[in-house]
Structures are given as C-alpha cells and as structure tokens.
C-alpha cells in the first residue's frame, strides 16, 4: 500500500479546505490567508503547490467533482443489468442528502460558473472539464440503459446527458434560492422518469 508523503497530505488538506471555503464564501470571498491558516501551511508552500490562487481554484474544481463521478460510477457498477435503477437510486440519494444539509452550498461548479466563469480562463476551462467529465459518466449510463431498452433511442446518449447536466445545474441553482428540492425533483420526474424513458 502506497503511503502518502507530507507534501501529498498537505496538498489534499489544502484542496479539501478549498472546496469547503469556496462553497461557503465563493472565490472572491475566500482569501489565501484563511485557507493557509485553516491547514497551518506557510504562504510560500502554497505557491510551491499551486502557483496562484487561480490555479488553486482550478484544482479545487477537479478535486470537487471526482467523488461525485466515483459515486455515480459505483451505482452503475452495482446495478449491472438495471442501469435505470442505478440512475434513479443515485438521484434519490443525492436529493435526500441535499435536503438533509438544508440546501447549503448547492454545487460548487454552478456557484463558480456564475462568479468566475467569464473572468478567469483557467477556471473556465477547469469548470468545463469538470462538467464534461460528469456528463460523460451520465452518457455512459444512459447509453447502457438504451441498450437495456429503458431509455429512448431516438436521441443519442450524449444529447440526453448534455440536457440532463444543463437541467440539473439549473435545478441546483433554483434549489438554493427556493430552499427546496422541488426543482431537483422536477428534473428527476420530468426528465429521467418521463422524457428520457423508452
């Protein structure tokens, strides 16, 4: 088993703290000193790890989306032969968790798209890459469900996955202002269980 070095642990701690603070306070509301103080790392070390706050945010974005991708992949692997059930279970549990946390944060990607998507090319590319990675797992799942006969085939899995990510991101933003999972429930019911269904 590979043992993490102190540098790897520090880097991981910085990224975890970055997710938490950027989710709570946004990019512009989060200072480097705050991040460094939380993980007790000197400023010089931060620049050795990331080079700039912008590069740090880009890496936080990739770090943030990775567990969501792994979770969806895990559901798809568990429900082999019934991909539609895997997608349903994933969404049901996601909605329950968002309700449990009282709609705090929403989605870091959506938050940062609105804040820095137009002002930072580095972050814009990182956001686009993260959304595409997430979309690609949905595409794989929807493609598998099409082969199983549970998802319509007159549209490509890629078209459906793009539509899903667009609607879900909008639902997450509306969830924050409405303080309700109703927009997400609508995505689940009207898209997955209705429009996407074979």
* Percentage of the chain exceeding pLDDT 70: 97
The rounded distance, in Å, linking the Cα atoms of 91 and 107 is 14
In tens, the pLDDT along 144-158 reads 999 999 999 999 999
pLDDT reported for residue 110: 87
Concatenating the DSSP letter of every residue in the chain gives -PPPPHHHHHHHHHHHHHHHHHHHHTTTT--HHHHHHHHT--HHHHHHHHSSHHHHHHHHHHHHHHHHHHHHHHHHHHTTT-HHHHHHHHHHHHHHHHHHTTT-S--HHHHHHHHHTTT-HHHHHHHHHHHHHHHHHHHHHHHHHHHHTSB-SSS-HHHHHHHHHHHHHHHHHHHHHHTSSHHHHHIIIIIIIIISB-
pTM (2 decimals)? 0.91
Placement of tokens 């940062």 in the chain: 112
Instruction: Check pLDDT > 80 for residue 3.
Output: no
Domains in the chain, CATH or no CATH each: 54-195 (1.10.357.10)
Residue pLDDT, tens place only, 72-90: 999 999 998 999 999 999 9
Residue 1, pLDDT score: 52
Please list, in sequence order, all residues whose beta carbon lies within 8 angstroms of the beta carbon of residue 129, skipping any fewer than 6 positions away.
Answer: 61, 62
For 14-23, the pLDDT digits (tens) are: 999 999 999 9
Q: Per-residue pLDDT tens for 83-127?
A: 999 999 999 999 999 998 887 767 889 889 988 888 889 999 999
Q: Using one digit for the tens of pLDDT, what is the confidence trace for 132-189?
A: 999 999 999 999 999 999 999 999 999 999 999 999 999 999 998 999 999 999 999 9
**What pLDDT does residue 32 have?**
87
């Amino acid at each position: 088993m590979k043992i993490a070095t102190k540098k790897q642990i520090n880097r991981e701690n910085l990224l975890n703290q970055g997710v938490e603070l950027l989710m709570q306070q946004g990019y512009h509301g989060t200072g480097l000193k705050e991040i460094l103080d939380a993980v007790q790392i000197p400023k010089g070390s931060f620049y050795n790890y990331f080079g700039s706050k912008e590069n740090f945010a880009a890496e936080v974005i990739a770090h943030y989306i990775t567990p969501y991708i792994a979770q969806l992949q895990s559901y798809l692997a568990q429900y082999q032969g019934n991909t539609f059930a895997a997608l349903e279970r994933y969404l049901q549990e996601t909605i329950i968790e968002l309700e449990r946390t009282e709609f705090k944060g929403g989605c870091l990607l959506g938050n940062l798209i609105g804040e820095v998507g137009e002002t930072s090319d580095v972050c814009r590319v990182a956001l686009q890459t993260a959304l595409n990675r997430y979309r690609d797992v949905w595409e794989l799942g929807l493609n598998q469900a099409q082969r199983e006969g549970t998802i319509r085939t007159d549209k490509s899995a890629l078209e459906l996955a793009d539509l899903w990510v667009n609607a879900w991101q909008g639902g997450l933003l509306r969830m924050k202002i409405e303080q309700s999972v109703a927009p997400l429930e609508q995505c689940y019911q009207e898209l997955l269980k209705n429009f996407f269904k074979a």
